[in-house]
Amino acid sequence: GKDLLPFLTEGFTAAAMAKVGTSALESRKLGYLLESDIVVPHKDEVLFVALNEAKAMAASGWRAPNKRLFPVAGRSGIATIRGSLVNMRDGGFISDHDQHIATLIAEIVCGGDVDAGTLVSEEYLMALERKA
């Protein structure tokens, strides 16, 4: 029952302006990483840590969450994001190409040509992604 647009527009602003995290701490501040995400400081240890995490999850009985439907922002969300992208492009903050790519992404994460609040599946969004 919450408004999805503040969540979406914040992420789109960061993505459209190509904000990158130069460290794990900065990436967390940008919302790209969760506090619970494991940070491996040395690239040669990534596989070792990943394998140990997978083994620990299996040993603890972890199971993938049940599939469920979730609401999307739909056409109105896409329109709002498109308006923001036009302003960012006209203000010189993003290029035409950035605007194009961000518009495609907006159409996917907002659920495409549906009403706001429509319940969709992950598979539906993945099909939109493949199409884009």
pLDDT tens digits, residue range 72-124? 999 999 999 999 899 989 999 889 998 999 899 999 989 999 999 999 999 99
Domain limits, the chain:
4-32+64-130
- Higher confidence at residue 8 or residue 95? 95
- Higher confidence at residue 125 or residue 6? 125
Strand partners, 70: 120
The model's pTM is 0.71
Q: Each residue of 26-51: b (16+ CB within 10 Å) or e?
A: ebeeeebbeeeeeeeeeeeeeeeeee
